[in-house]
């Protein structure tokens, strides 16, 4: 008996959409059937590159959803429209959604996305692809085995804004530790310039401590100055009672047995986007009851980032779950609590990002 081929649509035909398109073209159970982008020029180039018909190429996502019989939709637009488009997909009966990170720009949007998905029996996932890397999975395995004892603290430096890159390392850190729930967050955030990232207000710098309910502390630095580290940014260091792990493309373990470095010996054919599609199809077909990149997991990441902003607003510790549905950074900017000292709006992803 032949397996079902799932028809796929992509909303947003920019740079990251190409990674989704490539994976759908490679996957044996998906057909890239339709596209939508508000920019006709981007749409034309993308449809030609990925061999999608002009008839199935739209300048608004609702027309695509109304006219095409799709099973899966990738939401590859900028952050501010993720919630609206994902909710529309769920309301139109799309079975599976792969939304690019970050899931949303505030907790309220993320919760609304999950509610719409649940109400319409849509499987909602968020593309935090570090959950599929060799490094993340090997380190998670070693930590679960007790190779470093009980994790005490995780250190990560990142850059280019919290909604842009911190979402990746927050999600990866939670995955390494077995997806613990958050207990509390305290942070300091600086925004002296009118910095934006893909049209969303972004902080200049941030640092925070996230305490998980298992007692592990996570120290996150975003865009802070300092000497370069040997292993580079976006590389978690997990320190336990009996050793430590550095998680990059390889995994470096130091414990009572000495130093070991683990590297993948096989091509990660089903890692990243293709692995994400594998798991989404399994979830849609009832073979699994959850997805490692589910919207429920991504909500925790959004809550941590918004709690860091909220900590600045209240000048104190923020307990989980976060009660504030809005984006505290935006609230402080709009009501004057946080003012720009060096005027001149700029966007760190423009003009080269499309």
If asked whether residues 103 and 185 sit together in one domain, one would say no
Separation CA 221–CA 240 (nearest Å)? 20
If asked whether residues 100 and 160 sit together in one domain, one would say no
Number of domains in the chain: 2
The DSSP bridge partners found for residue 205 are: 190
Please state, rounded to an integer, the average pLDDT across all residues of the chain: 96
pLDDT of 269 higher than 60: no
If asked whether residues 104 and 170 sit together in one domain, one would say no
Q: Is residue 68 part of a domain?
A: yes
| Helix, strand, coil % over all residues of the chain, rounded to 5 | 35, 25, 35
pLDDT of residue 354: 45
Strands (DSSP E) found in the chain: 6-11, 30-36, 57-58, 72-75, 96-100, 123-127, 151-158, 182-190, 193-197, 200-201, 205-212, 217-222, 237-240, 243-247, 251-255, 258-262, 318-319, 342-347
If asked whether residues 188 and 154 sit together in one domain, one would say yes
Confidence of residue 227 (pLDDT cuts 50, 70, 90): confident
- Percent of the chain at pLDDT > 70 equals 96
If asked whether residues 76 and 182 sit together in one domain, one would say no
If asked whether residues 83 and 102 sit together in one domain, one would say yes
Q: Is residue 271 part of a domain?
A: no
- Tokens, residue 284: 């849609």
Q: How confident is the model over 22-37, as a mean pLDDT? A: 98
pLDDT of 184 higher than 90: yes
User: For residue 66, what is the domain's CATH number?
Assistant: 3.40.50.720
pLDDT of residue 350: 80
Separation CA 155–CA 135 (nearest Å)? 16
- The answer to whether the beta carbons of residues 286 and 305 sit under 8 Å apart is no
Separation CA 172–CA 23 (nearest Å)? 21
Task: Look up the domain containing 318 and give its range.
Answer: 131-266+301-347
If asked whether residues 214 and 328 sit together in one domain, one would say yes
pLDDT of residue 1: 66
């Amino acid at each position: 008996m032949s397996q079902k081929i799932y028809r796929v649509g992509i909303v947003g035909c920019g740079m990251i959409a190409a990674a989704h398109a490539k994976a759908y073209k490679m996957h044996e159970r998906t057909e890239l059937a339709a596209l939508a982008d508000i920019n006709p020029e981007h749409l034309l180039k993308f449809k030609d590159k990925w061999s999608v018909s002009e008839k199935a190429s739209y300048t608004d996502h609702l027309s695509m959803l109304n006219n095409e019989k799709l099973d899966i939709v990738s939401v590859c637009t900028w952050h501010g429209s993720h919630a609206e488009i994902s909710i529309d997909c769920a309301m139109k009966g799309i079975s599976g959604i792969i939304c690019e990170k970050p899931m949303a720009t505030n907790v309220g949007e993320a919760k609304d996305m999950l509610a719409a998905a649940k109400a319409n029996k849509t499987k909602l996932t968020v593309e935090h692809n570090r959950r599929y890397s060799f490094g993340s999975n090997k380190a998670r395995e070693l930590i679960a085995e007790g190779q470093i004892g009980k994790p005490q603290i995780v250190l990560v430096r990142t850059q280019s804004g919290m909604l842009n890159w911190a979402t990746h390392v927050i999600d990866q850190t939670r995955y390494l530790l077995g997806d613990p729930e958050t207990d509390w967050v305290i942070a300091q955030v600086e925004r002296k310039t009118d910095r934006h990232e893909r049209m969303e207000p972004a902080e200049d710098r941030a640092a925070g401590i996230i305490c998980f309910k298992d007692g592990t502390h996570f120290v996150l630095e975003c865009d802070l100055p300092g000497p370069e580290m040997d292993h580079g940014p976006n590389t978690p260091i997990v320190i336990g009672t009996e050793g430590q792990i550095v998680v990059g493309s390889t995994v470096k373990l130091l414990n009572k047995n000495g130093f070991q470095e683990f590297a993948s010996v096989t091509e990660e054919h089903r890692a990243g986007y293709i692995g994400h599609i594998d798991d989404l199809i399994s979830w849609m077909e009832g073979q699994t009851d959850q997805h490692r990149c589910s919207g429920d997991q991504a909500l925790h990441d959004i809550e941590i980032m918004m709690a860091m902003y909220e900590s600045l607003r209240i000048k104190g510790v923020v307990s989980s779950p976060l009660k504030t549905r809005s984006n505290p950074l935006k609230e402080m900017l709009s009501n004057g609590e946080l003012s720009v000292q060096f005027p001149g709006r700029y966007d760190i992803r423009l003009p080269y990002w499309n």
